[in-house]
Chain A
Amino acid sequence: MSQIPDLPPVLERLLETGDHDLIGAYALDALPAEERVAFEAHLRSCKQCQAELQVLQEAAGILHRAIVPPSPNAVSFPAPPPPAPSTTAGPEPDGRPAPEPEGEERPAPEPVDALPPAAEPATEPLPATGGPEPGAVAIEEPGVVPVEPLPVGEGFDLPAPEPELSAETAAVVEGIAEAPPSRRRLRPRGRVSPGLEPSPEAMAAVAPARPSRLPWLVAAAGALFGIVAIVAALALAETKDNLEEEIAIQNTLIDDLNAQRDAYLQQTTAIVWNLAPTTLGSPDSSGIIFADPVGTSVILSVTGMPALGENQAYQIWYLLPDATSEAGPQLDVDGNGNALTRLTADLTQYQAIAITVEPASGSELPSTDPVLQGFFTNP
C-alpha cells in the first residue's frame, strides 16, 4: 500500500491488516476523525462492509435508544448520512451525496461504482442549528460546510470531548455496564442513531441548548450541605464535651456518696446487746440482740434455755425507765433450748429487756423474776 503516495497512515494500516472490525466502532461513532475518514474511504470500495454497516447501524440505533431514550428536553441530532450517495437524490455540486431527508430512513448504500472517488474532499451536510458556534467551520453554502476532515462531533454543536478522560468517564467505564443498560444520557450523539427517525420534539430541540442552571443549583446545595454538616459536627462535638464533663461531675458525686456510705457503715455497724442469765436462770443460757444501724430490724437469739413445763412459756418484757414493763412476744424455744425471734418494738424508748417464765396462756405483767436480761446502752 505504500505505493499510494497520498494514502493516510491509518488507511494504510487498515488496508494492510484488513481490519474490518473498525466497522463496529464506526457504527457506534467511536472512531477518531482520522480513522473515520479512512474507513469511509475503505467503505466506498467494500460492498460487504456497506451491507454489514447497515445492519450494525440499525443495531447501534436500537442500542442507543435503549441506553439513551429520547426525551422532550434532550437535544437530539440527526445522523449524518453514510458515505454512499442516495439513489433518490442527486449528488451535491461538489460530488458529495445530498443530505438525507429528515424523518426518512437511511437508504441502503449504493454499489461501489456509484460512490464518489475516495480522494475527493469529504463534505457532510449539517443540520440547521441556529447559527455557527465559535470555532465552527465557516458555512460556504447554506446548510453545507466543507469538512477536511470533519472530526466526530464537530459541526453538530456537540460539546467538545474532554482532552483527558474525566472522573465521570472513568465512572462510566467502571460502572455503567455493570448494571443493565442505563437510561442515563451523558452526551448527545449523532451517528449512533442511524436508521431511527428522530422525533419532532428532538428535531425542534436542535437549537443550541440553553446552559442549564442545574449544576449551579447542585453546587449550591452541596455547599449548603457542607456548611450544615460542619455546623452540626461542631455542635455535636460541643455537646459531646458537655456530656463528658457532666459525666465526670456525676462520677465525682457518686464517688463522694460511696465514700460517705462507707464511712457511715464503718462507724455504725450492727448494734449488739447481750443478755445474761440471772440467778434464777441457767448459767448456760445467754442471749444476744442484733439491730441494724437504723433500728428497723431487731433479732433476739437465745441459747441454753432450760426446757419448761407443759403449761409454761418464756415471755419477753421491755422495761421502761420508770421501772414499769411492757409485754413482748413469747419465745418458742426448741428442744435444744434455742430460740430466734424478731422484735418489732422500738427499743430506743426502753431501758432493758428481760425474759421470765410465765403461764403458757400469757401474762399482762411479769409474774416471776427474769431468768435472762440485758440493758440497752449506747453503742
Chain B
Amino acid sequence: VTDNRTRDEAGVEDAIARAVAAVASLPLDQRKVLTVAVASDLSYAEIARQGGFEPSTVLSWMRGGLHAIAEALTNGEWADPGDAQGFPG
C-alpha cells in the first residue's frame, strides 16, 4: 500500500509540504496534539491532561491526523482520514 514516491529522497520535500498542508487543514486542537506529540516526549495521556482533552479524544485525533497526512501523501489512495473511527478492529 505504501506509495514509493514518498520514499524517494527527491520527493521528501514534496511529501513534507503535503504533510504540512494536511496538518494545517486540521482543527486547531488536533493540530496542537499532533505537533506536540512529535515535538515532545509526552505521552498521549500527558498531552490530554495538559490540553484539557479526553484521552480518548487525543487518541482519535492522533490516529485521524496521521491518516489525513497519509492520504495527502498518496493523493487520496487511502480511505478518508476523517473516518478513522470507522477502522475495523
B69, A49: Cβ atoms closer than 8 Å: no
- Count how many chain A residues have C-beta atoms less than 8 Å from C-beta atoms of the other chain: 57
Chain A positions within 8 Å of B35 at CB level: 67, 172, 176-177, 181-182
B6, A169: Cβ atoms closer than 8 Å: no
Query: In residues 30-86 of chain B, which contact A (Cβ within 8 Å)?
Result: 31-47, 49-51, 56, 58-67, 69-70, 73, 78, 84-85
Instruction: State how many angstroms separate the Cβ of A107 from the closest Cβ of chain B.
Output: 11
A189, B38: Cβ atoms closer than 8 Å: yes
The residue in chain B whose Cβ has the minimal distance to the Cβ of A164 is B46
Report the number of A-B residue pairs with Cβ-Cβ less than 8 Å: 172
Q: A51, A59, A60, A189: which has the most chain B beta carbons within 10 Å?
A: A59
The residue in chain A whose Cβ has the minimal distance to the Cβ of B31 is A177
The residue in chain B whose Cβ has the minimal distance to the Cβ of A60 is B66
A176–B47 alpha-carbon span in the complex (Å): 13
Chain B positions within 8 Å of A74 at CB level: none
A170–B45 alpha-carbon span in the complex (Å): 14
Chain A positions within 8 Å of B63 at CB level: 20-21, 23-25, 56
Chain B positions within 8 Å of A165 at CB level: 42, 46, 49-50
A23–B64 alpha-carbon span in the complex (Å): 10
- B-side binding surface: helix, strand, loop or mixed? helix
The residue in chain A whose Cβ has the minimal distance to the Cβ of B23 is A181
The 8 Å CB contact of B44, one of A25, A52, A68, is A25
Q: Given the known inter-chain contacts A67-B35, A176-B32, please indicate yes or no for A56 contacting B70, CB distance below 8 A.
A: yes
> A201 at interface (Cβ–Cβ under 8 A)?
no
Instruction: State how many angstroms separate the Cβ of B41 from the closest Cβ of chain A.
Output: 4
Query: In residues 36-66 of chain A, which contact B (Cβ within 8 Å)?
Result: 46, 48-49, 51-52, 54-56, 58-60, 62-66
> A342 at interface (Cβ–Cβ under 8 A)?
no
> A213 at interface (Cβ–Cβ under 8 A)?
no
The 8 Å CB contact of B43, one of A31, A173, A176, is A31
B44, A173: Cβ atoms closer than 8 Å: no
A22, B50: Cβ atoms closer than 8 Å: no
Instruction: State how many angstroms separate the Cβ of A203 from the closest Cβ of chain B.
Output: 15
Closest 7 pairs (CB-CB, A-B)? A24-B63, A24-B62, A177-B32, A21-B59, A59-B69, A177-B35, A59-B70
